């Protein structure tokens, strides 16, 4: 077991099951964002939580500007954690940009993963007609510009828009605080890797069965994006949630848990049927 990776990525392991379920956080977040969801799976799975280098309580000394200039560097973090713990048959749950990180990792080493669960995925945030990603390039450039000039102001503006649950201001406050606790230089680099990335060509290469959880009224990944991911990803299931905003694991953990459990239960039943017929 590679202790360096485990401390570098602040890895936490718990749960009473044997099959690993690894949770990967989104941009500007950390593993703590999964706290409302993980207890529901702890009896049946071995839960693995981690922070990408540059996020949460990861080892900032391990941050490398080149490595983390693209999502491939984050995919390597995920694979490093899987290798350090010698994981097999991984159920991967990735929020937002981590959905594409999971896709990249699974395309590199498909035999590691049993299922991908992609929460609010987007392979391309910038519109590229006929593809609709939800943003024009100048929107993203403006966002990054604001980030550089007034990082706190940027966080206070963006977090409530992403969360989209105005009646629960504590959720927006937590996301704002999470953004603000990230080093602004590292956050900007991650934002560039996220918002300027284009992973559309990676979707048809996925060989792992996947669930796409699409939120309602999500400004970061609108429904047309979820439908695109489903259309382009072989052996994928699209589930449109009632939960609004971009963080259903925080705003509606019960619906998120139900959707994941229903999918895994159906997948398990289908697997048993296939075995019976083979």
Of 55, 58, 96, 99, catalytic: 96
Query: What DSSP character marks residue 267?
Result: H
Residue 171: CB partners within 8 Å, gap ≥ 6?
163, 165, 247, 250, 251
Q: Confirm whether 246 is a catalytic residue.
A: yes
3-state secondary structure of 91: strand
Residue with tokens 């890797």: 193
Could you give the residue ranges of the DSSP H alpha helices within the chain?
Answer: 3-8, 71-84, 97-108, 137-149, 151-163, 169-180, 184-195, 223-232, 248-251, 253-277
Of 218, 236, 249, 252, catalytic: 218
| 69 touches 78 (CB < 8 A) | no
Q: How far is CA 106 from CA 11, 82, 117, 214, in A?
A: 20, 11, 12, 20
Of 25, 230, 246, 249, catalytic: 246
Using alpha carbons only, what angle is made at residue 49 by residues 43 and 53, rounded to the nearest 5 degrees? 175
Q: Confirm whether 230 is a catalytic residue.
A: no
Q: At what angle do helices 151-163 and 169-180 cross, to 10 degrees?
A: 140
Residue 94: CB partners within 8 Å, gap ≥ 6?
23, 24, 100, 101, 102, 116, 117, 118, 119, 121
CA distance 58 to 53: 5
Q: Provide the annotated active-site residues.
A: 96, 218, 246
């Amino acid at each position: 077991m590679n202790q360096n990776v485990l401390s570098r990525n602040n890895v936490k392991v718990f749960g009473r099951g044997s099959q690993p379920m690894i949770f990967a956080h989104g941009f500007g977040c950390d593993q703590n964002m999964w706290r409302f969801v993980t207890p529901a799976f702890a009896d049946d799975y071995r839960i693995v939580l981690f922070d990408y280098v540059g996020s949460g309580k990861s080892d900032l000394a391990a941050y490398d500007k080149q490595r983390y200039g693209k999502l491939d560097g984050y995919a390597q973090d995920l694979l490093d954690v899987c290798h350090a713990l010698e994981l097999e048959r991984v159920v991967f749950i990735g929020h937002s940009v981590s959905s594409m990180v999971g896709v990249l990792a699974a395309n590199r080493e498909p035999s590691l993963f049993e299922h991908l669960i992609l929460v609010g995925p987007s392979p391309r945030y910038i519109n590229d007609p006929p593809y609709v990603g939800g943003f024009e390039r100048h929107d993203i450039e403006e966002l990054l510009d604001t980030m550089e000039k007034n990082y706190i102001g940027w966080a206070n503006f963006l977090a409530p828009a992403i969360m989209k649950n105005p009646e629960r201001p504590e959720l927006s406050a937590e996301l704002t605080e999470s953004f603000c606790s990230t080093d602004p230089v590292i956050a900007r680099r991650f934002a560039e890797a996220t918002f300027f990335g284009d992973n559309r060509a990676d979707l048809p290469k996925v060989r792992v069965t996947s669930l796409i959880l699409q939120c309602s009224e999500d400004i970061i990944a609108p429904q047309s994006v979820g439908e695109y991911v489903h259309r382009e990803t072989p052996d994928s299931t699209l589930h449109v949630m009632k939960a609004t905003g971009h963080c259903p694991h925080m705003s509606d953990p019960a619906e998120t848990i139900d959707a994941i459990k229903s999918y895994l239960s159906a997948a398990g039943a289908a697997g048993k049927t296939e075995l019976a017929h083979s």
